[in-house]
Each structure stands twice: as C-alpha cells, then as structure tokens.
Structure 1
Amino acid sequence: MLSDTMHDRPPRIELCQPPEPGSGSVEAIDQQILFLLSQRFGLAREHDQVALQNDDARTAQLASIRRKAFELGIPVSLVTDFWDRMLDASAAMREQARKT
C-alpha cells in the first residue's frame, strides 16, 4: 500500500518525459496528467504561494475550480477533493523545501 505522504521527496521532473501527442488513449492521457502534476509540484515547491495559505484565497480558488469542472462536465466533488489534497501536498512540499 502506498503511503499518504506523497511529499516524501521532491518531484523528479527530469524523469518525466512528455507523452506522445495525439495517441488519444486513456493511458496516454494518464501519462500527461502525471507529467503535468510533476511540473506543478516542481513549481509549487520552488515558488512560495503565500496567497493560497490564506483561507479566503484557497476558498476562492476551489470555487473557481468547481465552476470549471462543472463547465467541463467532470465530477465536481472528485475534482474539488483532488484539488484540496493537491493544495495541501503543495504546501507540505514548500515547507519541506524551506527546512532543507
């Protein structure tokens, strides 16, 4: 079983290669998602996003994400839960980076 602590080490962007464009398979899309997450966590670790540590800013960002998920016709609760956890993981990675 995987650990819930997904921020045990920094993202390894150098190991991620962009997926082949245009294949359209679910597996290719999954690889794209992983590649983008690696990029996002790398940037979040490097940049201090103080605004997102503010509850009002976080609430506003999550509301924006919910609206976009609804517009795209994807499960709003799933996206919101994912985004909330991603913001927590990003904050933990930034904190970890500060300590090293």
Structure 2
Amino acid sequence: MEFLGLDLTIWAVLAVYLLGVLALGWWSRRGTENQEGYLLGNRRFGSFMMIMHSFGSGTHPGAPAGVVSKTVSAGAAGVWVSWVWLFGTPFYWLIAPVVR
C-alpha cells in the first residue's frame, strides 16, 4: 500500500525518526537556561569536541568532487588541488582549544 508514491513502511520510519528527534530535543532542553547556553553548550565542550568540530567545519564532502573536476580539466596536475589544505587542516585542530 502506498501514500504519495511511498510505501507505508517508509512513512512509518520517517514518523519514528521525527518523533525521536523531537524527543531528543525536548530531553536536551533541560540543561539550557538561556541563549548562551543553547548556542555555546554552556561552554562545557572539551578540547576533543572542539577539535573535531573544527575539523568537520574545515573539511567537507565536496572536496573529492572538486579534485576529480580539476583533474578532468587540468590533467594529473589537478590532484594537487587536494593538497592545498595539507597545511591548513592542522591549523583547525590547534586553534580550536585556543579560541574556546
């Protein structure tokens, strides 16, 4: 049986997922008293979490596609495009605990 072109099993999975996300948000709001607590996590993130956040912000899934695109247009020299971030990425890891 389908609804809007999707099987009812898919709709059930989506409903369970959305209810789970809402429940998680409702549960996690207990520890937040103000806007600063919400935006900055009450400043309780450790160095490891800040480093991983910076790493995730500094890298993205579009990079491999960009390297492939540049390699197709420029030949083998396009592979060096990915090395642009070789020295920049450790900067993200080191600066995160400092700016915290």
Same fold (TM over 0.5): no
> TM-score, length-normalised on structure 2?
0.29
Which has the higher relative contact order, 1 or 2, with Cα contacts under 8 A spaced 6 or more apart?
A: 1
Which has the greater radius of gyration? Answer: 2
